[in-house]
Amino acid sequence: MIKQYSGISPKSDLLLIQRLCKKLEGKSFLHVNSTREGGGVAEILYRMIPLLKELGIDARWEVIEGDAKFFDFTKKTHNALQGNTEKFTRDMWDYYYEINKKNRRKIDLKADAVLIHDPQPAPLVEYRPKTGKKSKNVWMWRCHIDISRPMPSVWSNLKKYVIQYDTAIFSVSKFAKSLPIDEFIVTPSIDPLSDKNRDLTENEINEVSEKFSIPRDKPIILQVSRFDRFKDPIGVINAYKIVKKYNDCRLVLAGSSATDDPEGEAILNEVKEYAGADEDIHILMMPPDYHKEINALQRMSDIILQKSIKEGFGLTVSEAMWKEKPVIGGAVGGIPWQIVHGVTGFLVYSPEGAAFRIRQLLNNHEMALRLGKQAKEYVRNNFLLTRQIRDYLSLWYSSMHRGENVIEL
């Protein structure tokens, strides 16, 4: 499986992965998150686990189970950690803890390295198996969301669990907190071989264009994201409306639902209502496994937007960049880590800014081509799955050499 990345990923990333897997051969690596489908975390784990297994690591992926009450609560905490004000009661926190306690009975937590993704399963650390000094396990908490300005009470409740880990991992520096444990920065990644990112034939692209009745007769502007206020779908429609006065184009808003996101449908309806009867606005709600369709939509588009006003990392930006498309992104969360303004895309701060850059790109084909090419190379060197696997293995291995800044392999 790793050989399939040869010629796509940087050679040194593949070499380092192989070297580290030799060093860690036979050891176990457990990942736990809260959804099998939908969202960037599940997509990455879906590819990463078999790849690690092939390289001799005993890798496992477990998903915690919860009911609607649990996921309503974790959605609220998700929003509150990203800065929204929400109401919480002590009972809600107790329920959150109880659900994790129940999951602990179903999930075997014994592993040499454990990586817990996001706040939903964070309390599992309370059930961390005891080990001796020589066979010490490593527990890492991976935070995929922007918690730079959280609702203080929510962060303080979550922090009780986080500080019990050996290491916390954040997607960008500004999400990191001042904690008494090691904190690393690991940017997330996309898989260039997945259905969402692999090369497609022109026929495959046309099939999707027909399937969703999107004629390819005028430039297509696309935003792919969950229907979520933080992705600012209304702002995208406003940008489109400004552009439309000067340049004819279509707008496609495509999103999928995730089992841990109960708000999606309400926002989708709001967006549909705002778009009105404009035949050039296409709003698509897709099942979470429509990866090839998303890929085709990105490839048939001329410009791709990720106009978030709050973002974790915003992997759809890297996905679009990988397809050599000029991307316009909100300057929030991890988006500025992917878009080097004017080099690999444009950063904007308002619907008006997005509209201006769309018009600029629609009128300057050479600029659109140049940004797209540079964007693809930037993703190749920084945001492919193999780099993220390399980083997780490096972190695990470096935890066995604590205190050393330079580790020779």
Partner 1 sequence: MGKATAPFEFKQCVSIVKSTGRKAKNLRELRNVIAKIGEESIFHHVYQYFLKGHMLEYTNDFAQWAGETLEERALAERMSCIDPYTLKSVNSVRHELLREIDEFLNCFPEPHDVVEGNEFYFNETVNLVFPVGVKTRNLAEFLVAIEHIDAGSIYYHFYDSRVRLGEGVMDDFSMWIEHTLFRKKIAEKIRAIDPFMHSIENIRECIKEIVEEHVRAEMEGVVD
Shortest distance (Å) from residue 381 CB to partner 1? 7
Q: Which residue, 15 or 369, is less far from partner 1 as judged by CB?
A: 15
One symbol per residue from 376 to 395: x for binding partner 1 (CB under 8 A), - otherwise; what is it? --x--x--------xx--xx
Q: Could you say which residues in the range 18-57 bind partner 1, by CB under 8 A?
A: 19
Question: Smallest Cα–Cα separation from 45: which of 104, 151, 148, 121?
Answer: 121
Shortest distance (Å) from residue 205 CB to partner 1? 31
Q: Collect contacts of 396-402 with beta carbons under 8 A, ≥24 apart.
A: 396/20, 396/24, 396/29, 396/113, 396/138, 396/140, 397/20, 397/23, 397/24, 399/113, 399/138, 399/166, 399/167, 399/182
From residue 377, alpha-carbon distances to 186, 198, 322, 389 in Å are: 19, 15, 8, 19
- Helix residue ranges, H only, 250-348: 264-275, 291-300, 315-322, 335-338
Q: Which residue, 17 or 304, is less far from partner 1 as judged by CB?
A: 17
Shortest distance (Å) from residue 358 CB to partner 1? 24
Q: Does 10 bind partner 1 (CB under 8 A)?
A: yes
Q: How many residues bind partner 1 (CB under 8 A)?
A: 38
Q: Which residue, 13 or 302, is less far from partner 1 as judged by CB?
A: 13
Q: Which residue, 148 or 197, is less far from partner 1 as judged by CB?
A: 148
Structure-derived torsion over alpha carbons of residues 53, 55, 56, 62, reported in degrees to the nearest 10: -20
Q: Could you say which residues in the range 178-207 bind partner 1, by CB under 8 A?
A: 178-179, 182-186
Tell me the C-alpha distance between 49 and 98, whole Å. 28
Shortest distance (Å) from residue 406 CB to partner 1? 5
Shortest distance (Å) from residue 172 CB to partner 1? 9
Q: Which residues have CB under 8 Å from 240's CB, separation 6+? A: 221, 249, 251, 281, 355, 358
Q: Does 404 bind partner 1 (CB under 8 A)?
A: yes
Question: Smallest Cα–Cα separation from 33: which of 93, 147, 101, 114?
Answer: 114
- Contact of 261 with 34, CB cutoff 8 Å: no
Q: Which residues have CB under 8 Å from 141's CB, separation 6+? A: 116, 122, 125, 161, 162, 165, 167, 168, 169
Q: Which residue, 183 or 319, is less far from partner 1 as judged by CB?
A: 183
Q: Which stretch binds partner 1 (CB under 8 A): 88-96, 169-177, 296-304, 350-358?
A: 169-177
Q: Which stretch binds partner 1 (CB under 8 A): 40-48, 67-75, 173-181, 313-321?
A: 173-181
Map tokens 């999107």 to a residue. 214
Q: Please give the backbone phi and psi of residue 41, each rounded to the nearest 5 degrees, phi first.
A: -65, -50
The C-alpha R_g of the chain, in whole angstroms, comes to: 21
Q: Which residue, 91 or 404, is less far from partner 1 as judged by CB?
A: 404
Q: Which residue, 253 or 332, is less far from partner 1 as judged by CB?
A: 332
Which of 137, 148, 157, 301 binds partner 1 (CB under 8 A)? It is 148
Q: Does 177 bind partner 1 (CB under 8 A)?
A: yes
Q: Does 147 bind partner 1 (CB under 8 A)?
A: no
Q: Could you say which residues in the range 295-354 bind partner 1, by CB under 8 A?
A: 332, 340, 343
Map tokens 């907190």 to a residue. 177
Query: Length of the chain in residues, anyone?
Result: 409
The pair of structure tokens assigned to 191 is 């898989």
Shortest distance (Å) from residue 212 CB to partner 1? 36
Shortest distance (Å) from residue 341 CB to partner 1? 10
Q: Does 217 bind partner 1 (CB under 8 A)?
A: no
Binding site for partner 1 (CB under 8 A): 10-13, 15-16, 19, 148-149, 170, 173-174, 176-179, 182-186, 332, 340, 343, 378, 381, 390-391, 394-395, 397-398, 404-409
